[in-house]
């Protein structure tokens, strides 16, 4: 349960950072579409980075 809450908080913080950095006001449909595109791109990049990190960690020599 804690892990899910941490994940949701992380996703919400990402959304808030996108909204503030891009100065998006979620009052009209065009800005909501802009936010959705930016958030989707951020989420895809997050997945790609996680994949890269996992591959790098898997290739490390863990035994002494």
What pLDDT was estimated at residue 64?
Answer: 80
Q: Which two tokens stand for residue 13?
A: 């913080």
pTM of the complete model beyond 0.85: no
Query: Cα(54)–Cα(58) distance, rounded to whole angstroms?
Result: 6
- Consecutive 10-residue runs of the chain (64 residues): their mean pLDDT? 94 95 92 95 95 94 85
Tokens describing residue 26: 């979620």
Mapping DSSP onto H, E and C, the string for the chain reads CHHHHHHHHHHHHHHHHHHHHCCCCCCCHHHHHHHHHHHHHHHHHHHHHHHHHHHHHHHCCCCC
């Amino acid at each position: 349960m804690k892990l899910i809450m941490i994940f949701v908080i992380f996703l919400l913080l990402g959304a808030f950072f996108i909204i503030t950095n891009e100065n998006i006001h979620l009052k009209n449909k065009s800005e909501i579409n802009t936010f959705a595109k930016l958030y989707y791109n951020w989420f895809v990049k997050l997945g790609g980075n996680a994949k890269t990190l996992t591959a790098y960690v898997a290739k490390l020599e863990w035994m002494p």
